[in-house]
């Protein structure tokens, strides 16, 4: 497996994910996934965003969010994380 392209392919498929999620699904160390994401960020294919989970996210209500799919990520992160960093795929290829 090539971590650079494996992470790209998975994130392209998911559109948005945390580095922990990607690491778990690909059985890679989080540090490697972070390095790979840093490469894709530098190349303009990925952007990071903070997903608020405290209010309107991760607790079953979507009233104060724009339906960004971050709820699912936040819900998996658990109630102890009011906000988490997620990565969104921007590239086209």
Partner 1 sequence: MSDIMAKALAAGARSGDMPVIAIAGNPNCGKTTLFNLLTGARQKVGNWPGVTVEYRSGTARIDGRKMSVVDLPGVYSLLGGGGADQDVARSYLLHSDADLVINIVDAANLERHLSMTFELMQTGKPLVVVMNMVDEAEAMGLLPNPEGLAEALGVPVVPMVARTGRGFGQLVETIVAALREPPVVHTHVFEPAIENPLRNLRAHLPGESYVQKRFEALRLIEDVTEPQTSEIANAVAEAAASIRAMTGEAAADAVAGHRFGWAHDTARRGMGFGDRKGAGRHMTDVIDRVVLSDWLGVPIFLAVLYAVFVVSFSGGNIFLDLFDQVSATLLIDGVGHLLHVLGLPDWLVAVTAGGVGGGLNLVFTFVPPIGLTFVFLALLEDSGYMARAAYAMDRLMRKMGLPGNALVPMIVGFGCNVPAIMGSRIIEDPRGRLLTVLMQPFMSCSARLTIYMAFAVVFFRESGGQVVFALYVLGIVVAFLTALLIGRTAVRGEAMPFVMELPPYRLPSLRSVLLQAWQRLKVFLMRVGRVIAAIGIVLFILPGIGWTGSGIATTDIEHSFLAEGSKALTPLFTPMGIEKDNWPAVSGLIAGAAAKEIVIGALNGIYQRQDSADQMARYRDPDLLGQLVAALQTVPDNAVALVTTFGDPLGLAAFESSEAATEASGASNATLKAIAEGFTPLSAFAYLVFVLLYVPCAAAMGALKREVGWGWMGFSVAYGVGLGWGAATLIYQTGTFAAHPQSSALWIAGVLGAFGLLIVGLRLIGDRTVARARLRLAEQRT
Q: Who contacts 35 (Cβ-Cβ below 8 Å, separation ≥6)? A: none
Q: Which residues bind partner 1 (CB under 8 A)?
A: 1-5, 29, 31-32, 34-36, 38-39, 42-43, 48, 50, 80-83, 85, 93
Cβ atoms of 23 and 62 within 8 Å: the answer is no
Please count the other Cβ atoms lying within 10 Å of the Cβ belonging to residue 60.
Answer: 8
Compare residues 5 and 15 and give the one whose CB is closer to partner 1.
5
Compare residues 2 and 13 and give the one whose CB is closer to partner 1.
2
Least Cβ distance, residue 74 to partner 1 (angstroms): 14
């Amino acid at each position: 497996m090539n971590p650079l392209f494996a992470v790209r392919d998975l994130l392209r498929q998911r559109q948005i994910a945390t580095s922990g999620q990607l690491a778990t699904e690909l059985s890679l160390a989080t540090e490697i996934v972070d390095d790979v994401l840093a490469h894709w960020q530098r190349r303009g294919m990925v952007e990071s965003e903070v997903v608020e989970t405290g209010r309107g996210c991760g607790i079953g209500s979507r009233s104060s969010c724009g339906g960004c799919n971050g709820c699912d990520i936040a819900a998996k992160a658990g109630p102890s994380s009011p906000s988490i960093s997620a990565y969104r795929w921007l590239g086209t290829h």
